[in-house]
Amino acid sequence: MKAALVIMAAGLGSRYGGSKQVDGIGPNGEILMEYSIYDALRAGFTKVVFIIKPDMEQLVRDLVGDRLERMETADGSPVEVRYAFQDFSSVPAFYHIPPERTKPFGTVHAVLCAADAVQEPFCVINADDYYGVDAYRTIYEELGRLKPEGEATMVGYLLKNTASLNGTVSRGVCQVKEGKLVSVREALKIQLYADGSLKDLDQGKALAPETVVSMNFWGFTPSIFLALRTYFENFLRTQAGDNPKAECLLPVMVGSELEAGRLTVSVLHSADRWFGMTYHEDRQTVAQELQKLHDAGVYPPSLRA
């Protein structure tokens, strides 16, 4: 089965304090998305689509893209590599972009920018997250079971394993019943405390450590692009206004489609632990975790050999 890995790498990394998408953190300078690509290819994925800012293209090619074009998929065929650009040129003409706006319009807009590059079932990931080997095998198999329309999937993670002691994080808080996503709510300020407790600061409510959350590891069929476009245009008309920081987010969009009865989302669980870099202080921990995986033989000594 042909399937695409779509990597969202256009974010500015404002809380991290730099472009974390291209921060070499592996033992040989590997960036986090190299691990995602390695895991996806051995799971069966056949295409990689990078969603980036236009001025990042040469950098991404030098770091991983050109080498990726010389690699093979699990069935021995060449990996297909595409680049999609998230910038303001793809924003509908009816919307006036605030002059002080510098950030992209969020993850819904990001995936929309890849529409022309994706014709097969696909999964969407963040460039700066590590999702684990098992997660890619699991979602690849599920993509092959999805109906062409009205169905999607996601890999869920436990909140306690995705928060940071170095500051607040945003997560899609999920309600799951019998393996299906019932609802998803974007919580923008979740704080982990030293005693292991968690709190949604915006709502002033404690959150259970075992709460299932979305880490933007979604699986879709190409039919989702029409829903994404409709939702994004409605967002621009009714919510964005003159706010230079307004973002149109995938978990919120999926929640809207669920509520309207237009989408059914299966929730998958991975045996692997998620980790990522929200803050620069997270870097050392992630580097140590990656080194352990290399030492254990999960990855070869170098992903660049």
Dump the DSSP string for 160-193.
GGT--TTS-EEEEEEEEETTEEEEEEEEEEEEE-
Nearest alpha-carbon partner for 150 in 175, 117, 130, 180:
180
* pLDDT bucket at 68, cuts 50 / 70 / 90: very high
Q: Is residue 303 part of a domain?
A: no
* pLDDT bucket at 164, cuts 50 / 70 / 90: confident
Nearest alpha-carbon partner for 43 in 296, 272, 277, 224:
272
- As a whole number of angstroms, the distance between CA 42 and CA 261 comes to 35
What is the share, in percent, of the chain residues with pLDDT greater than 90? 70
Whether the pLDDT of residue 124 is over 90: the answer is yes
The pLDDT of residue 279 = 76
The pLDDT of residue 19 = 57
Nearest alpha-carbon partner for 161 in 202, 123, 132, 126:
132
Q: Is residue 22 part of a domain?
A: yes
Q: Is residue 305 part of a domain?
A: no
Q: Count the residues in the chain.
A: 305
* pLDDT bucket at 293, cuts 50 / 70 / 90: very high
Angle between the 224-235 and 250-259 helix axes, to the nearest 10 degrees?
Answer: 110
User: Strand, helix or coil at 14?
Assistant: coil
Can you tell me the mean pLDDT for 7-23?
61
Can you tell me the mean pLDDT for 87-102?
91
Can you tell me the mean pLDDT for 34-45?
96
Domain containing residue 28: CATH number = 3.90.550.10
The number of distinct structural domains making up the chain is 1
Can you tell me the mean pLDDT for 68-82?
94
Helices (H) and strands (E) in the chain, counts: 8, 13
Q: Is residue 234 part of a domain?
A: yes
The pLDDT of residue 21 = 56
Q: Is residue 304 part of a domain?
A: no
* pLDDT bucket at 11, cuts 50 / 70 / 90: low
User: Rounded to 5 degrees, what angle do the CA atoms 260, 264, 270 make?
Assistant: 135
Q: Which domain holds residue 180?
A: 4-295
Q: Is residue 53 part of a domain?
A: yes
Can you tell me the mean pLDDT for 225-238?
96
The pLDDT of residue 22 = 62
**Tokens representing 221?**
């069929």
Burial 26-45 (b: 16+ CB within 10 A, else e): bbeebbbbbbbbbbbbebbb
182-219 tens-digit pLDDT: 999 888 899 999 999 999 999 999 999 999 998 889 99
**Tokens representing 191?**
């704080």
- As a whole number of angstroms, the distance between CA 223 and CA 120 comes to 10
The pLDDT of residue 55 = 87
For residue 125, the surrounding DSSP H or E stretch is: strand 122-126
Mean pLDDT of the chain: 91
Q: Is residue 144 part of a domain?
A: yes
Measured between alpha carbons, how far is residue 116 from residues 49, 51, 82, 125, 161 in Å? 11, 12, 10, 18, 35
Q: Is residue 33 part of a domain?
A: yes
For residue 84, the surrounding DSSP H or E stretch is: strand 80-85
**154-158, 201-205, 226-230, 272-276: the lowest-pLDDT one:** 272-276
Can you tell me the mean pLDDT for 86-100?
92
Enter the pTM of the model.
0.91
The pLDDT of residue 260 = 96
Can you tell me the mean pLDDT for 34-53?
96
Largest CA distance in the chain: 54
